[in-house]
Structure formats: C-alpha cells, structure tokens
A and B are shown apart, each in its own frame.
Chain A
Amino acid sequence: MRIEEGKAVSPSKSPTMADGVERMDNESIKPEKMFTLKKWNAVAMWSWDVECDTCAICRVQVMDACLRCQAESKRDFYGKQDCVVVWGECNHSFHYCCMSLWVKQNNRCPLCQQEWSIQRMGK
C-alpha cells in the first residue's frame, strides 16, 4: 500500500515548516514517511450462491449439520460433518436426518403438505 498524497501534514510539524522543505528540495528529497503499515488483516465475506434454506424441522441452515449431528458431532473421513441435505420434488430442502424421522410419521412435506418424494440428495 502506498500513500499517494504526500502533501498531508504530519501533526508534529507546523504547516509553514513542511511547506518550506518542499519548496527547497522538491525533486531530490522524498516526502517524509508519515506512517508505516506493519500489519494488516484481510477480511473476506462469503455467502452461498444458491438459495440457502433453514431446515424447518430443526431450524438450522441446511448447509450446516442438523442439531442431532452437531450434538453427536458425526464426521466423515475428511473430518467434515456428515449430514446431507435432501430436496423433495416440491423443491423444499431439509436435513436428511430430520426428514427421515418425520416421514415415518407422515409422508408429506412439512412445508407444503405435498406427498414427499426425494428429488435429490447431497450438499
């Protein structure tokens, strides 16, 4: 990072002095360094580029593990949480774990009450 505007005045000097220095040796003397960046932290934001739903059953985002898997902290070979998402023909998505408990009671989508049939599974 470079400070382009060299005319800013450091608070320790009076404006007249800084002016004088600049007029005498404008070419040869580099503008006095006013500060040095020693450390900086980059901050990045991200979000899913697909519509990210909350699982209506456990109320956790479908892309995160469901409550039960979080508690048991089930992990796969790579250490990722092994809790997949299931999409119905109605396009509603839930955690597979949550949905498998519900369909035993009533084979309908909890959100639209349509007969539940799986469109796809994954993450």
Chain B
Amino acid sequence: MPMPKPEWDPTDSADGGTLSFTASTRIKRDLRCIFNDPPAGIFVVGDESNLRIVHAIIFGVVDTPYEGGFFYFILRCPNDYPIHPPKVKLMTTNAGRVRFNPNLYKSGKVCLSILGTWEGPAWSPALQLSSLLISIQSLLCENPYFNEPGFVKEHVPGDSKRYNEYIRHETLRVAVCGMIENECHLNIPSKLREIMEKTFLEFYDQYVEIIKANIHLHGTELIDPFSKGRFVCQYKALLTRLEKIKGNLMPQSESVSKQASCSSAGDNGNEGNLT
C-alpha cells in the first residue's frame, strides 16, 4: 500500500473542495504580476489543467554553488489562497537522493517559515507567488552550510567550503545534466523545458568554466556534512555529458527558434490560457 503523502506535499491531489473565487482571481493576478515583471532567474508557468498548480524553475544564481542549475518546483495553492500559503515541493532531487540545501530536503520538502514548514515569520496574505519564489531563491545562497540552524560556525574547519564543492558538483550533475536529460522523467511543462534548453546553451561556456576551475577535484571524495554521504567527484564524466547534451540540443534548438519566430503569440499565448 502506498504511503500517504505528507501534508506539505503539493503532489497530493486531495484539495478538499474547489478554489474560492478570491483564490482563483488572486492566483491569476499573482501570475500576471510575474509575467509583467519577471523576477531575475525565476521562470513560471501555470498548469494547463489546474489553475491552483504553478510550475516554477529557479535558476541558480551566479557566484553561488548553485550557479547555472535548474531547480524545478511545484506549487499548489489551497482553496482559500492567500489566507493559507501554497504547498511547495522541489522536484530536482535526483528522485529523492540529493539534499541541495539544509532547507531543501531530498524528499523535496522546502523548509521555510512563510510556508509553515519552519519556525520564524509566518505566512502573510500580503505575500504572493513572486515574493514566495524569491524567498526560495534566497535559500540557494553563497554559503548554504550556514542555513542550517545551529551551524553559525563550522563544526569542522572547512566544512562550508567542502559543502559548497559537493553542492557545485551535484548542481551540474543533477540540476543541469539531469534536468536537461530529464533522467527522472519529471512532467516538466514544455514551456519550461524550452526555457531550460535555451538557457543551457547560453550558459554552456560558463558550465565548462566551472568544471575547468574544479577539475583538480576529479576523483576525490565529496562529503555532504548533513547526510554524511560520501561521493566520488566525477567532473571529467560531467564534461563529456555536457558536451553530449549540447550536441543533441544544437540542431533541435535551431528548429525550435524557427518555430518561435513564425508564431508571434509566444508568451501571450500562455497567459491567455490562464485568464
């Protein structure tokens, strides 16, 4: 018998009723707000069949160990949104195997006080989807080791740097290669897939730079101080994987861009579906 899904999990479809009129109008308004004024590095589409579900990709910020990664989140708004916050799950976990941050569990749980999954300032109906996504983006920071409560100082000197090395490697392996290849067979909306593929090609040289700067770590052991997991660093294999992905994307992406220039509907088409 399958385990019942935890309360925070947005992939649990038991909504216990329908969206209120205020909730559905607020969700559309929140989405329009993101389309009109997109926060940097955050890409969002509404679900085609269910207004309460929102798909988001947060792109790892430059100069953090998450740089260039595609972190895919599913959000599910409750019937009385914005009185209660949405439920949020990180889908980029290599099928529940990678904990990308002290606040982002490998189960996909997002520990954030405004989501009610952590202590601290609670949700406020004055918040909206964009401010929530920006809060999540801010978790993907320069030195995530210190996000863990009680870890204001390194337990072992060098822990933070070692954690960053582990995250940087897993970002390239799972949040870049794994996401573009869709190795975990996630149901990512095609619009977000296109954005990821386009961004991958634009960022490709930077991926190669990151690997070159860290190639000396190849074959060494990476340690996650939180799960105590040990992994062998595989930068050389990752470089080959990146090159292969690029090769696969190049001819295909040319035909995609041709299609895009033929239909001028583009972004508007998506928003139109939501309203």
Complex alpha-carbon distance, A67 and B80, angstroms = 13
Task: Please tell me if the beta carbons of B25 and A58 are within 8 angstroms of each other in the complex.
Answer: yes
**What interface size band does chain B fall in?**
10 to 19
**Residues 72-118 of A contacting B (Cβ, < 8 Å):** 98, 101-102, 105-106, 108, 110-111, 113
In the bound complex, residues from chain B placing their C-beta under 8 Å from that of A68 are 20-22
Complex alpha-carbon distance, A66 and B80, angstroms = 14
**Residues 33-55 of A contacting B (Cβ, < 8 Å):** none
B116 to chain A, nearest CB (A): 10
Evaluate whether A102 and B21 lie within 8 angstroms (CB atoms) in the complex, with A56-B125, A56-B126, A57-B126 already known: no
Say whether A17 faces chain B, with CB atoms less than 8 Å apart. no
Say whether A59 faces chain B, with CB atoms less than 8 Å apart. yes
In the bound complex, residues from chain A placing their C-beta under 8 Å from that of B126 are 56-57, 110-111
Contact count A vs B, C-beta below 8 Å: 39
Task: Please tell me if the beta carbons of A59 and B83 are within 8 angstroms of each other in the complex.
Answer: no
Task: Please tell me if the beta carbons of B84 and A58 are within 8 angstroms of each other in the complex.
Answer: no
Say whether B124 faces chain A, with CB atoms less than 8 Å apart. yes
Say whether A71 faces chain B, with CB atoms less than 8 Å apart. yes
Task: Please tell me if the beta carbons of B21 and A67 are within 8 angstroms of each other in the complex.
Answer: yes
Complex alpha-carbon distance, A113 and B113, angstroms = 14
Cβ-closest chain A residue relative to B127: A110
Task: Please tell me if the beta carbons of B121 and A57 are within 8 angstroms of each other in the complex.
Answer: no
Chain A contacts to B: CB under 8 angstroms: 56-59, 66-68, 71, 98, 101-102, 105-106, 108, 110-111, 113
A58-B22, A68-B22, A71-B22 are known; give 14 further A-B pairs, CB within 8 A.
A56-B125, A57-B82, A57-B126, A58-B26, A67-B25, A71-B21, A98-B125, A102-B83, A102-B125, A105-B83, A106-B122, A110-B124, A111-B124, A113-B124
